[in-house]
Each structure stands twice: as structure tokens, then as C-alpha cells.
Amino acid sequence: MRFSYILISEKMSEKVQPSYKVEFEGRAKIGEVMGNLISIQLKPEDFSSPLSFQMALTRIYNEVLNMMQQQPKIHYVAEVKFNDSLGNPVVIGVDFGDKIPPLSKKDVKVKVIIEFYDEE
């Protein structure tokens, strides 16, 4: 993990806006999902009680039935995993759309850059 402080300006005559960047390195697994399945998700509040879980299952069942009536669509996605600066595991998803990126492997290294800056 690298930390850097960079001053950024498009033109030297403009006001310089300070920013702070943090880079993380991790791994990503690229795969396919049915585009229709993206809307089917369980949320943390779905597990808050047996009734909310049952309502979530009903919602998912209805979404699966609707999905079966549509033409299947393939989306390429990546599951990106890295550890934050406190050592906590972080997992994010990246949707590449209907075209796979030109990478030779399905398991690749990633660099995650987070930039902090003031709003104007």
C-alpha cells in the first residue's frame, strides 16, 4: 500500500486543488452472470427476522419468475477483493457490461485507487 499527496491542476493559472490518494493492491475474479439476475439481491435487513426473510424469498421468487419470461442476457463482472489500511477485507463488484475485458486470465491482480479531494 502506498500513500501519496499530490497537487493537481489542469492549468497552472487555475486554483490548485489538493488531493490525497491511497492505493491498494488485491485480486479480482472475472466471471459471467445472467444480466437478468443482477436485480435479485439479498440485503442485510432481509435477515432481521424470520418474517422479513420470508418476504425476501417471496420477492426473489417473483423476480426469478419474471426473469424466466425474458431473453437471457450475459454480463461480465469482477469480484474485487483487497484489504483496507486497517486490515479489514473489502469486496466490491465491477460490472463490465456485455463485453469481457481483454485479459488473458480470469483471476487477475488489481490496483484500487481512492482519491480524496475538496468539493468546489
Q: Considering the domain boundaries, does residue 14 fall inside one?
A: no
- In DSSP terms, 91 is beta-bridged to 81
- Residue among 19, 2, 1 nearest 10 (CA): 19
Look up the domain containing 75 and give its range.
Answer: 26-109
pLDDT for 7 equals 43
Q: Are 19 and 85 in contact (CB under 8 A)?
A: no
Q: Are 32 and 75 in contact (CB under 8 A)?
A: yes
Q: Considering the domain boundaries, does residue 18 fall inside one?
A: no
Question: Could you tell me the mean pLDDT of each successive run of 10 residues in the chain, 120 residues long?
Answer: 43 66 96 76 92 94 84 88 95 90 92 90
pLDDT for 38 equals 65
Q: CA-CA distance, 85 to 88, in Å (whole number)?
A: 7
Q: Considering the domain boundaries, does residue 74 fall inside one?
A: yes
Confidence (pTM):
0.66
